[in-house]
C-alpha cells in the first residue's frame, strides 16, 4: 500500500498534468506494486483537490463494463470515477479539444436520480424506482498519464486508469428525458458518427446485460465506504461502444433513434 504522502504526491501530479496539458508517465512506472486500493485512494485525493478549488460533485461514472474491455485490462469488474460540475456540457455544445489530453468519446446512458441509492443488496428494480429519468449521453475520456508511452512503449494498466479518475474528462447530456419504466433499457441502441461517417454502434445491454446493473454495482461499491448516491446526481452507466478518438475540427453525433441525438463539436 502506498503511504499518504505518496498518494497525495500522485494526486498533485495528475492535477498538474491536467492543468498544464502535459501527459505524465503512468503511475505504475513509479509504483509497480501498487494495488487497486491505492489507485482509488489517489483518485479520491485528486477529487479532494478539485473540490477544494470550488468544483462540485454532480454524480459518478462507471467504466469498463463490457467483458471485452475487462479482458483487455485484465480485470473482472468495472471501475468508477467522479463527475464534477466543470465536466458538464449539453447537446449542441462546442468544446475545445485542446482542453483534454488524448481525448476520446463514448456512448452511454445517464441515469438522473430522484431518490438516494444506498445499500449492498440493491436490485435493478431499486435503481429504476430511484431514477427520475434516463437520457442519452456522451462521455469524453482523457489520459493524464500516457496510455502508451511514446518513447518506451509502456502501456498503462487499469490501476493507472482508476487513479486517473477512471479516465473521465467531460459528459454531454441529450435533451430527451425518458422514464425508465416506459422503455426496455436493454434494447436502447445508438449509432455514433464522426464528421458524418459512422464509427461505432451498440446496444445498452452490452453494459452488464442491463445498464441499470452498472448503477447497482456502483451503489454497492460506494455503500462499502458509507456513501450514498444522492437525488439529483447523474450516473453514467457505462459505454456500449468502443471509444473513438476526437480532435480539433471533429463533429460527433450519437443517434439514439427515439431518444434523439447528442451532438458536440470540437474546436
- What is d(CA 106, CA 255) in angstroms, rounded to the nearest whole number? 13
Structural domain contains residue 34: no
pLDDT by position in tens, the chain (length 267): 899 999 999 999 999 999 999 999 999 999 999 999 999 999 999 999 999 999 999 999 998 776 655 555 666 678 999 999 999 999 999 999 999 999 999 999 999 999 999 998 999 999 999 999 999 999 999 999 999 999 999 999 999 999 999 999 999 999 999 999 999 999 999 999 999 999 999 999 999 999 999 999 999 999 988 899 999 999 999 999 999 999 999 999 999 999 999 999 999
Structural domain contains residue 9: no
Largest CA distance in the chain: 51
Structural domain contains residue 227: yes
Closest CA relative to residue 208, chosen from 236, 240, 172, 231: 240
Structural domain contains residue 2: no
Number of C-alpha atoms within 13 angstroms, CB side, residue 245? 5
Structural domain contains residue 169: yes
Structural domain contains residue 111: yes
Structural domain contains residue 241: yes
The pTM score is 0.95
Contact 217, 78 (CB under 8 A): yes
- What is d(CA 187, CA 196) in angstroms, rounded to the nearest whole number? 24
pLDDT in tens, 86-132: 999 999 999 999 999 999 999 999 999 999 999 989 999 999 999 99
State the total domains in the chain. 1
Q: What is the dihedral of CA 203, 209, 213, 214, to 10 degrees?
A: -50
The enclosing H or E element of 132 equals strand 131-141
> Could you tell me the CATH number of the domain that includes residue 249?
3.90.850.10
- What is d(CA 235, CA 230) in angstroms, rounded to the nearest whole number? 10
Residues of the domain holding 92: 57-266
- What is d(CA 262, CA 106) in angstroms, rounded to the nearest whole number? 11
Structural domain contains residue 127: yes
Closest CA relative to residue 222, chosen from 116, 114, 105, 126: 116
Closest CA relative to residue 138, chosen from 49, 18, 241, 31: 241
Q: Which residues make beta-bridge pairs with 112?
A: 133, 234
Amino acid at each position: 500500500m502506498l503511504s499518504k504522502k505518496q498518494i497525495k504526491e500522485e494526486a498533485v501530479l495528475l492535477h498538474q498534468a491536467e492543468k498544464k496539458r502535459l501527459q505524465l508517465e503512468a503511475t505504475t512506472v513509479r509504483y509497480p506494486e501498487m494495488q487497486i486500493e491505492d489507485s482509488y485512494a489517489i483518485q479520491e485525493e485528486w477529487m479532494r483537490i478539485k473540490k477544494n478549488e470550488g468544483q462540485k460533485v454532480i454524480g459518478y461514472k462507471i467504466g469498463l463494463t463490457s467483458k471485452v474491455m475487462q479482458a483487455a485490462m485484465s480485470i473482472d469488474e468495472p471501475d468508477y470515477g467522479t463527475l464534477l460540475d466543470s465536466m458538464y456540457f449539453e447537446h449542441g455544445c462546442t468544446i475545445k479539444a485542446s482542453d483534454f489530453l488524448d481525448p476520446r468519446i463514448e456512448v452511454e446512458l445517464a441515469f438522473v436520480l430522484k431518490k438516494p441509492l444506498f445499500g449492498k443488496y440493491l436490485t435493478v428494480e431499486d435503481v429504476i424506482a430511484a431514477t427520475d429519468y434516463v437520457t442519452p449521453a456522451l462521455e469524453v475520456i482523457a489520459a493524464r498519464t500516457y496510455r502508451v508511452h511514446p518513447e518506451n512503449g509502456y502501456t498503462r494498466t487499469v490501476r493507472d486508469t482508476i487513479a486517473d479518475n477512471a479516465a473521465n474528462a467531460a459528459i454531454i447530456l441529450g435533451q430527451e428525458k425518458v422514464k425508465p419504466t416506459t422503455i426496455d433499457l436493454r434494447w436502447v441502441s445508438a449509432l455514433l458518427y464522426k464528421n458524418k461517417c459512422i464509427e461505432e454502434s451498440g446496444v445498452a445491454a452490452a453494459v452488464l446485460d442491463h445498464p441499470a446493473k452498472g448503477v447497482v454495482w456502483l451503489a454497492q461499491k460506494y455503500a462499502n465506504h458509507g456513501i450514498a448516491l444522492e437525488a439529483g446526481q447523474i450516473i453514467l452507466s457505462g459505454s456500449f461502444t468502443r471509444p473513438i478518438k476526437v480532435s480539433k475540427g471533429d463533429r460527433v453525433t450519437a443517434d439514439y433513434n427515439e431518444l434523439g441525438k447528442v451532438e458536440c463539436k470540437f474546436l
